[in-house]
Each structure stands twice: as C-alpha cells, then as structure tokens.
Structure 1
C-alpha cells in the first residue's frame, strides 16, 4: 500500500482530521474547512483535498446515521439542486481558478456574516427573491467551493443559520447534505486523477480517526446549550474566514 511518509504531514493531518470530525459531528462543520489548509502546510493543496475527500465521506456515513431521525427531506430537496449545479461548475473550472482568489472571497464573506451575527445586527433581505432562488444561490456557491477546496460550509451556513433551526435539526441536515455533496464529488475527483493510490492509501491510514472525531463532536453537541451552540457556530465561521484569508495572503 502506498501512502505519504513525511512525518511533518501527519503532525498536521492528525489534528486536522480530528478537528474536522468534531466540527462535522457536533458544530455544523464550521471548522472542518480548516483541514485542507492545515494539511497544505506539508503537501500541495490539491493533494490535501484529495486525501481528505474519502475521510470526509466516511465521517458523513457515521454522522448521517447518528442523526437520521432528524432529517428534513423538504429542506434537503430545496438544497440539493443548487449544490449539484455548483459541483458541476467547480469540476469544469477546477484546473483554471486561482485558489488564492477563492480563499479571499469565501474568507471575507464568512467574516462579514459572522461579525454581523455576533454583533446582533439584523440585516433585511431587500432582494425580494423567492426562497427557492436564495437557496439555489447559496447552495450553488457551497457546491462550487466544496469541490474546489472542501470549503462549502460558509455559504450553506450563511443561508441556514439565520433560520434559527433547532441545533440538532441543523447539524443533522447539514451532515446529510454534505454526505450527498461529498459522494457526488468523488466523480470529478476521480476524473481529474486526484484519487490515486498514494492519496487513497494515506486516507486509509488516517481513516480510524474519522469516527473518533465525529463521535466526540456528537458527545459535545449533546452537552452544549442551543444559544451557546449558535454563538460557537458564528465564532467558528469567523475563525474559518480568518484562516482562509490568512492562507490566501
């Protein structure tokens, strides 16, 4: 079996995988986006994304099953068409778009939204767009950025967090949403030649950490107050945006 042997990679990858699992299992994935930048400290970013994708798919299986009684199929039917469109666009542009530009855009968007929510400011939606069109916009952006950098969390959270869903309903449906998104992403990643033997072997080495992180996140989720949960989610979103901009600069 082939796998990455650089010890410095594992110093970054082990906490990255655990952090992604905790975030996915208990906190709506807010800090999961940090996994690829952390791994990219030791390996190229496209390779880091390729190693993380099978691990994310495993986390999604564990998390989705744990939260399945709380799935909202009506909500998911609203979210998935735009996500599929975004994945397709990301597939077409994967070799052409600058990761730096992407990190800057998503980072700024995440920071501005998180600061607005933490400050208690209520921004009115003056677009007068129907709900399905707003959902399609944010989920398309989520699918697009998820394909390029596993950074689909901030756009979908910008759409869902203001709805003030029950914290368990929010995490349950985000977990299933990203399960479907990540499994769909296997197709473009395979076609682009990113799921080679070395990357898959490395993912297999790190795979045992995936359920550990998810179940730790679930354990924390059950012990945190809902108001605190949302505040933590906004803080996680803020930290994510800072990290994305830091990586870009």
Structure 2
C-alpha cells in the first residue's frame, strides 16, 4: 500500500464484546478482557502499516448507564490495561492522548492517565487516542463553551471563526481528523463518536466481533480504504486534472 493510500488516522468503535461472551456462555467482562487483547494486536498492526494515529472508543458518556458491577469491572480492566501497556507504549514510542471528560473518571484512573500521557508526551510519530467518558455531542458543547469564554475575554473574534479555528477547541485539537472509521460486530452507526471530525471519513463496517478482530481484519479495512476514491465534493475529473 502506497503512503498516499495509507490513512493517517483510523478511529475504531470496538463493538461486540458482550455478544462475543454471550455466544460462549461467558461473563460479559470476559468479553471486555478479550477485547483488551484485541487492542494490543491492532496497535501492532497499525504501526506495522504506518498508520500514525489510532483512536479507540473505549468508554462513552452513555456507558455509565450500564449495571454498576459492569462499569466497575470496566474501570478495573482499564486500570490493568494502562499499567501493563505503559512500558510497551514507551518501548514503541507511542504517545497516549486521552479525549473525553476524563476528569469525571475514578481518581486512580485519572492518575494513571496523567502518568501515561506525561511519560509519552514527547513521542511525535505515533499516537494512541483513548476516548474515555467521550461523546461527540458533549465534545461540541464543551468546545462552544470555551469559544464563548474566549470571545467574552476578547481573545477570539467570532466573525473570524471557521472550522480550522473551531477544531482547536475540540478534544482532538492536536490530532488530524480521521480518514477511516471502523466499526466492528456488524452494527452500522457512529454512536456519537467523532461525528464532526468524521465528516469526510470513509466508514468501514466489519461483521467481526471486536475480541476476534486481528491484524488480518485490520489489513482488510486498510485495503478497502485504499480502493475508495475520496473526492471531498469534487468530481473525479477535477481530481485527475490536479
């Protein structure tokens, strides 16, 4: 795959952990645990294929509505994942970037996230984005509030506001917009994930449940992406004439 056909940012909705466990008559948390293993495979596949940015939808603002024991188990799993993966992120020089209202997460998780971000902040070639307590609508609302405050303080002229300026108030301000969004498990919706940033992204829906998603499945998504023509509102003829 040529560099021009390689997405610089792939965002992934990791769906199907619960169904994977149910099919095997296992506890739901076992599906989430196996899903964490899939993350490690995909991170390796992304780096092997020169995908510089990966963002994973790990915990949404709506996920707080799940049973408390499942939420607690997910937080414990996140704790374990961060502790185990930080040395690997450092070894492979991958920056960790957290997006979402992570200050509403448990205190020990916040501490681990801060430690991991600080330890990897100087790496500039590869980035792992973790969307935690994330929702696209709350992100836009938070951005609008910041913009209103900046305008009130006289540091932002609303008449000069455009998308390039607006995006600097989003959680993803220092990441490129995704080129490719992958959703696993056969579901065909974005579920409040990077909706503004994904305005021109290619969408790939995989029937594979997330715990079974592997390097080959990731490569299949990249090949599909490379086969598509991204026109950004232009005609094919206009693109060819460039």
TM-score, L = length of structure 1: 0.32
Please identify the structure whose Cα radius of gyration is greater.
2
Q: Answer 1 or 2: which has greater strand percent.
A: 2
Give me the TM-score of the superposition, normalised by structure 2: 0.33
Bigger proportion of residues as helix: 1
RCO comparison, higher one (Cα < 8 Å, 6+): 1
